[in-house]
Amino acid sequence: MNRMTGNDILEIFKFIEVEMRENSSHLIHLDSFGGDGDLGISMCQGFRGIIEELSNLDLSDMELKDVFLKAAMAINEYSPSSLGTILCAGMIGGAKMIGTESESFSVRYRNFVAGALDGIMQRAGSKRGEKTILDAIGGALDALEKSIASGDSPEDAVQAASSGARDGMEATKDMIAVHGRAAYRKENSRGYVDGGATVGMLIFKAVSEYVVGN
Amino acid sequence: MNRMTGNDILEIFKFIEVEMRENSSHLIHLDSFGGDGDLGISMCQGFRGIIEELSNLDLSDMELKDVFLKAAMAINEYSPSSLGTILCAGMIGGAKMIGTESESFSVRYRNFVAGALDGIMQRAGSKRGEKTILDAIGGALDALEKSIASGDSPEDAVQAASSGARDGMEATKDMIAVHGRAAYRKENSRGYVDGGATVGMLIFKAVSEYVVGN
Amino acid sequence: MVMKKIMNSADSFCDEMLEGIYLAHGDKVKALDGDLRVLVRAGSPRAGKVGIVTAGGSGHLPVFLGYVGEGMLDACAVGNVFASPSASKMQKMIEHADQGSGVLCLYGNYGGDNMNFDMACEFADIQGIKTAQIRVCDDVASAPLENAEKRRGVAGMIYAWKIAAAAADKMMSLDEVTAVTRRALGNIRSMGIALSPCIVPQAGKPTFEIAADEMEIGMGIHGEVGIEVSKMKSADEIVTLMMDKIVGDMPLSEGDRIAVLVNGLGGTPMEELYICYKAITEYVEDIGAVIDSRYVGEYATSMEMAGMSITVMKLDDELSELLDHPASTPFFTNLNM
Amino acid sequence: MVMKKIMNSADSFCDEMLEGIYLAHGDKVKALDGDLRVLVRAGSPRAGKVGIVTAGGSGHLPVFLGYVGEGMLDACAVGNVFASPSASKMQKMIEHADQGSGVLCLYGNYGGDNMNFDMACEFADIQGIKTAQIRVCDDVASAPLENAEKRRGVAGMIYAWKIAAAAADKMMSLDEVTAVTRRALGNIRSMGIALSPCIVPQAGKPTFEIAADEMEIGMGIHGEVGIEVSKMKSADEIVTLMMDKIVGDMPLSEGDRIAVLVNGLGGTPMEELYICYKAITEYVEDIGAVIDSRYVGEYATSMEMAGMSITVMKLDDELSELLDHPASTPFFTNLNM
Ligand SMILES: Nc1ncnc2c1ncn2[C@@H]1O[C@H](COP(=O)(O)OP(=O)(O)O)[C@@H](O)[C@H]1O
Ligand SMILES: Nc1ncnc2c1ncn2[C@@H]1O[C@H](COP(=O)(O)OP(=O)(O)O)[C@@H](O)[C@H]1O
Ligand SMILES: [Mg+2]
Ligand SMILES: [Mg+2]
Ligand SMILES: [Mg+2]
Ligand SMILES: [Mg+2]
């Protein structure tokens, strides 16, 4: 998998949507500790919305950047919850950095993830280490950097990102939330994994499974 | 016990109040089948109200008729629920018929009960056989008539009235309610004893226990 | 279900609630001669106006006392939770409300209230006050049409008060007010469902339970048993079965103009009431009738009971005009409608 | 706790509720360009008036959309239950509300709403529409005073809207409206308790449970955890601990004039709110402050959640005047106060 088209992106969103659906009650559960327990619902709606919007477009010739901008507006429209809006900001940030086909898959992937991280930090006023989805994305980015430095294949890159995201997610367990509703729990927000970080992990997992499988 | 004073009446109301208090949850339970479950509460309030009002009066020289009129207004004031108001009507009706000291205790008691039955029937538009307190009062009246016909003592009369009231109460088990909230249950009101009839039974029981014990 | 109420004690529940109301709305209502249990308008009564009064148990806010105010009731006697006030309090209230033209006692058909109003009116008679009594019997679930006078009074009271009070405000005579109110009541039907019980503070536990997946169809506002217990249904199904029962009792035809009250019993969120209102509009539209006026909200509650009731009033020109007549109490107004 | 709601489906919950509202109040409010999720006043906007808009999740009726109307908000974008609406809907609403003098976006401080309003205002900027944003952060239980900008927005929103909308109605400029609203918010504090959870229809079960004999002190209106879980207390004790927290944050002194909002969260009967109001008057009297205005009822709910909140606004002459300025929406009016 070196050449990605808009259709691949749509297929990846379908993989992500399945993950969200299958983990819906788990996400609701995690979001209930400090949040309002809507995470499983809002993520299913958001990714279904993206799929619906993208399915109506001829994606084969569309630039990936534009596909992500469409997806960004769609997730905000269909799931304007905190995380839906954060993912919107992330996709806008990623789209800006995704570059052109002249670059390799792994580099584009790394640049997209870096752009997403940046976009979210600006929109949401947050940074890594604050028990959010940023920790999963940051974990993926670190792993991607390493993987690219050692010249890994696209398959290795996505798998590295996936396990990096999982590490980032797991690290949120010991963090204190400072953003979102969970922040109201202060010290008590320690001890469980962040729901948004779990969403991040699931996204990287879905990307990895799609890329490895195709 | 041939001469009754207003003080005896007050003591009897205290006996009745104890019965209501001790059977409060049972009355609530019975009133819950078809009614609103307030019977235990309203009866306690009502009789406590009577005791409070009468305790402020010099009863020793008051005519029994006037004692009952005071009690009637008090129970309506402190417990204006259906049954409180019915007992008010009953006491007014009874007071009208209680006569003077020239008559024997048993005759006066019989006349009072007959007047109470009448007063309620007129105020509430009901009659015996309709699953109400009237069945207990009616049962007591029948038993009193018999007891007087056979020349029984005051003690025998009150005991007869008490067991007659209990029979009347028990007979309500197979009746269909046609008055009050229980009437909405129609056929389903059959199968349990009426709460108001149980109150009636407890009143006659208290009278009997006071008279026999003094 | 365990009792969980924000209160100080069951015994002080009603009086503290009343004190709160007088403290909050002392410019609009007052305790007659300092008696918390007799609530009257703060201003002095209008000379010559027919008095419109009611009475009933507590636990139904804004019913009963919440409807005392401009263009609405003149006075209300207040009982304990779900219990009638006494005849003597009613009598005081009637006396106050009489401005020489008589007083209409307009209240729900419940044994205790009936007998106490009977006694109070007898007392008033003796004092030479002209009174009329109308018992509201709008709950179609509580007795068949041929025994309509045995039906309970539920949220239909609000329309009855609105009509009667507007008529009195227009200085109609006691006979005229009584006549138009009776006519209105001939055109009013209600039906309710309950999803959860409520707890009388002094009882401390519910008088009945409803299974988690069931509802009581036709339940009364004190938890009196209804027509049947059924599995939970969808909003559309619930509205259809309620409207079928109402329309079965009081037929609606194409072109009829109606007023609709969708009433929450206390525990049911307003969101659900509007979902029901949508279903009602569809039901009414199928008949070809027209909804001219609607109230959606908590108008007659049973404390924390979950559930709702629907009330329909068939309108004519006079009833419409009386319904639209301005009314303003601390708990109810049509000035924003 | 099992979900028991009068609805047709969780997915249609919000849209059917909205359809019901438009059907009921079509003479007062309408769906902008047919979009159910953008509710605006039915009439055409007043030229030159500063637009006052809000947005937020469903499940809080009468918040948010219920405050759109005469003398109140111009428009409201409506999200799913407890979820923000999208930036594009907010943008449409801002565009509609702008009458050349700019638009104040006045809403509760929640992550999703904040980010979406930020985006929407960036879009509006590009279109040349002047906007200002104020996030209501009135819940003293949600963060200490030094982090006051992190606090959640709860029932204090109602006072903020009332003040801002009255100022706009008096044709003040965007800067003036913003300034007086900020000043009002500096004088507004809220605190809530919850006695039972509520269920988001699409979740189907509560996000938390409260033991039968316990309450959550300081809980947010979406069930965000509060300050502490405590055994149930008496109404007087509850009011004291809530008022202590409010007054600890915003001192009240002898002679201060205040407005008080006693707000039911949905499942708590109005009777209990008045018992609390009585306790509040006693608390305030001990300080020597004076309650000049009070709202008691369901002003900002969490569907069927049982509980209540207290909001206090310290008044000055200007705030009093703006508070008293006439307002009339289908869900809120002060015409009867
Ligand atoms: N400021 C922020 N920056 C980054 N991520 C955030 C921020 N605030 C919240 N999140 C993420 O969003 C998740 C909650 O999303 P969501 O359930 O949609 O929020 P809400 O229901 O409060 O709108 C959190 O678990 C966290 O990962
Ligand atoms: N019309 C009536 N005539 C005689 N007794 C009646 C009548 N209606 C009700 N009762 C009695 O009153 C009892 C209920 O009293 P109560 O609980 O005070 O009623 P409520 O709570 O409905 O006011 C019934 O059990 C019945 O015995
Ligand atoms: Mg959430
Ligand atoms: Mg009863
Ligand atoms: Mg309520
Ligand atoms: Mg409610």
Query: Are A and D close enough to touch, i.e. 3+ CB pairs under 8 angstroms?
Result: yes
User: Greater confidence, B92 or D1?
Assistant: B92
Distance CA C245, CA C218 (A): 10
Atom number of ligand 2 nearest to Cα C82:
21
The reply to whether C24 touches chain D by the CB within 8 Å rule is yes
CA of C5 to the centre of ligand 1 (A): 34
Does residue A126 register a pLDDT over 80? yes
Distance CA C209, CA A35 (A): 32
Residue in this structure with the two tokens 């997806």, named with its chain if needed: A71
Report percent pLDDT > 70 for chain A. Answer: 98
Distance CA A86, CA B88 (A): 71
Which residues of C are tagged catalytic? 60, 222
Confidence of residue C1 (pLDDT cuts 50, 70, 90): confident
C99 within 8 A of C90, measured Cβ to Cβ: no
Starting at the edge strand that comes first in sequence, how are the strands of the sheet with D214-217 ordered? D228-231, D214-217, D188-194, D307-314, D257-264, D290-297
Residue of B nearest to C79 (CA): B80
Contact C17 D337 (CB under 8 A): no
Residues in chain D with CB shorter than 8 Å from the CB of C24 are 274, 277, 294, 296
What is residue C21's predicted lDDT score, i.e. its pLDDT? 98
The reply to whether D82 touches chain A by the CB within 8 Å rule is yes
Distance CA B147, CA B130 (A): 25
- Show the 3-state SS of chain C: CCCCCCCCCCCCHHHHHHHHHHHHCCCCEEEHHHCCCEEEECCCCCCCCCEEEEEEEECCCCCCHHHECECCECEEEEEEECCCCCHHHHHHHHHHHCCCCCEEEEEECCHHHHHHHHHHHHHHHHCCCCEEEEEECCEHHHCCHHHHHHCCCCCHHHHHHHHHHHHHHCCCCHHHHHHHHHHHHHCEEEEEEECCCCCCCCCCCCCCCCCCCEEEECCCCCCCCCCEEEECCCHHHHHHHHHHHHHHHCCCCCCCEEEEEEEECCCCCHHHHHHHHHHHHHHHHHHCCEEEEEEEECCCCCCCCCEEEEEEEECCHHHHHHHHCCCECCCCECCCC
Residue of D nearest to C14 (CA): D271
Residues in chain D with CB shorter than 8 Å from the CB of C23 are 277-278, 281
C101 within 8 A of C151, measured Cβ to Cβ: no
Starting at the edge strand that comes first in sequence, how are the strands of the sheet with D131-136 ordered? D29-31, D38-41, D75-81, D51-58, D103-108, D131-136
Return residues 48-67 of D near C (CB < 8 Å): 58-59, 61-62
D214 within 8 A of D230, measured Cβ to Cβ: yes
Kindly state if the Cβ of B138 falls inside 6 Å of ligand 2.
no
Distance CA D304, CA C306 (A): 9
pLDDT tens sequence across A38-90: 899 889 999 999 999 999 999 988 999 999 999 999 999 999 888 999 999 99
Kindly state if the Cβ of A200 falls inside 6 Å of ligand 1.
no
Closest CA to D46 of D18, D75, D67: D75
Kindly state if the Cβ of A195 falls inside 6 Å of ligand 1.
yes
- Show the 3-state SS of D296-328: EECCCCCCCCCEEEEEEEECCHHHHHHHHCCCE
Tokens (6 digits) for A76? 């905000």
Contact A84 D225 (CB under 8 A): no
Distance CA A143, CA A55 (A): 32
Distance CA A182, CA D108 (A): 16
What is residue D109's predicted lDDT score, i.e. its pLDDT? 96
Distance CA B78, CA C227 (A): 33
Tokens (6 digits) for D308? 């209540």
CA of A181 to the centre of ligand 1 (A): 8
CA of C39 to the centre of ligand 6 (A): 25
pLDDT tens sequence across C313-332: 999 999 999 999 999 999 99
CA of A82 to the centre of ligand 1 (A): 5
Q: Average per-residue pLDDT in chain C?
A: 96
What is residue A183's predicted lDDT score, i.e. its pLDDT? 74
Residues in chain D with CB shorter than 8 Å from the CB of C336 are 69, 328-330, 332-333, 335
Closest approach of C136 to chain D, Cα-based (Å): 24
Distance CA B145, CA B160 (A): 9
Distance CA B28, CA B8 (A): 29
Which residues are placed with Cβ below 5 angstroms of ligand 5, an ion?
C 266
Segment holding D191, helix H or strand E: strand D188-194
Closest approach of B84 to chain C, Cα-based (Å): 8
**Cβ-based neighbours of D86, under 8 Å, separated by 6 or more:** A76, A77, A78, A80, D77, D116
Tokens (6 digits) for D143? 């963060």
What ipTM did this prediction achieve? 0.89
Closest approach of C53 to chain D, Cα-based (Å): 20
CA of B98 to the centre of ligand 2 (A): 24
pLDDT tens sequence across C181-223: 999 999 999 999 999 999 999 888 887 889 999 999 998 888 8
Q: Is D60 a catalytic residue?
A: yes
What is residue A144's predicted lDDT score, i.e. its pLDDT? 97
Q: Which amino acid is located at C79 in the chain?
A: G
β-bridge partners, D190: D139, D311
Closest approach of D232 to chain C, Cα-based (Å): 8
Distance CA D320, CA D315 (A): 6
Residue in this structure with the two tokens 């009776």, named with its chain if needed: C182
Distance CA D238, CA A142 (A): 51
- Residues counted in chain A: 214
- Pairing, β C257-264 against β C290-297: parallel
What is the residue with the minimal CA distance to atom 4 of ligand 1?
Answer: A132
Contact B179 C111 (CB under 8 A): yes
pLDDT tens sequence across B157-211: 999 999 999 999 999 999 999 887 777 667 778 899 999 999 999 999 999 999 9
Does residue C6 register a pLDDT over 90? yes
The reply to whether D6 touches chain C by the CB within 8 Å rule is yes
Kindly state if the Cβ of A179 falls inside 6 Å of ligand 1.
yes
Distance CA C147, CA B41 (A): 31
Kindly state if the Cβ of A82 falls inside 6 Å of ligand 1.
yes
Kindly state if the Cβ of A36 falls inside 6 Å of ligand 1.
yes
Tokens (6 digits) for D17? 């509720």
What is residue A184's predicted lDDT score, i.e. its pLDDT? 66
Residues in chain A with CB shorter than 8 Å from the CB of D222 are 36, 181
D273 within 8 A of D181, measured Cβ to Cβ: no
Closest CA to C95 of C72, C63, C126, C133: C126
Distance CA C325, CA D190 (A): 37
Residues in chain C with CB shorter than 8 Å from the CB of B73 are 88
Report percent pLDDT > 90 for chain B. Answer: 80
Kindly state if the Cβ of B124 falls inside 6 Å of ligand 2.
yes
Kindly state if the Cβ of B168 falls inside 6 Å of ligand 2.
no
CA of C335 to the centre of ligand 2 (A): 41
The reply to whether B82 touches chain C by the CB within 8 Å rule is yes
Burial of D66-92, coded b for 16+ CB within 10 Å and e otherwise, reads bbbbbbbbbbbbbbbbbbbbbbbbbbb
Kindly state if the Cβ of B31 falls inside 6 Å of ligand 2.
yes
The helix/strand/coil state of D68 is strand
pLDDT tens sequence across C219-277: 888 888 788 999 999 999 999 999 999 999 999 999 999 999 999 999 999 999 999 99
Average pLDDT over residues A120-142: 97
Peptide bond into C62 cis (omega under 30): yes
**Residues in chain D with pLDDT < 70?**
none
Closest approach of D321 to chain C, Cα-based (Å): 18
pLDDT tens sequence across B110-125: 999 999 999 999 999 9
Mutate to test the interface with A, among D109, D150, D191, D224 (most CBs of A within 10 A): D224
What is the residue with the minimal CA distance to atom 4 of ligand 2?
Answer: B132
What is residue C190's predicted lDDT score, i.e. its pLDDT? 98
What is residue A89's predicted lDDT score, i.e. its pLDDT? 95
| Partner chains of D (3+ C-beta pairs under 8 Å) | A, C
Return residues 252-311 of D near C (CB < 8 Å): 266-278, 281, 294, 296, 298, 301, 303-304, 306, 308
What is residue C203's predicted lDDT score, i.e. its pLDDT? 80
Residues in chain C with CB shorter than 8 Å from the CB of B185 are 225
Residues in chain A with CB shorter than 8 Å from the CB of D79 are 80
Kindly state if the Cβ of A196 falls inside 6 Å of ligand 1.
yes
D258 within 8 A of D287, measured Cβ to Cβ: no
Average pLDDT over residues A175-193: 82
Residues in chain C with CB shorter than 8 Å from the CB of B133 are none
Cα angle for residues A85, D124, D300 (degrees, 5° grid): 60
What is residue D225's predicted lDDT score, i.e. its pLDDT? 77
Mutate to test the interface with A, among D1, D12, D58, D82 (most CBs of A within 10 A): D82
**C126 CB-contact burial (10 Å; exposed 0-12 / middle 13-18 / buried 19+):** exposed
Return residues 191-220 of D near C (CB < 8 Å): 195-196, 212-213, 215
Atom number of ligand 2 nearest to Cα C84:
23
What is residue A100's predicted lDDT score, i.e. its pLDDT? 87
Cβ contacts below 8 Å, chain C against chain D, sum to: 176
Distance CA D168, CA D70 (A): 11
Return residues 133-152 of D near A (CB < 8 Å): 142-143, 150, 152
- Chain centroid to CA B156: how far? 18
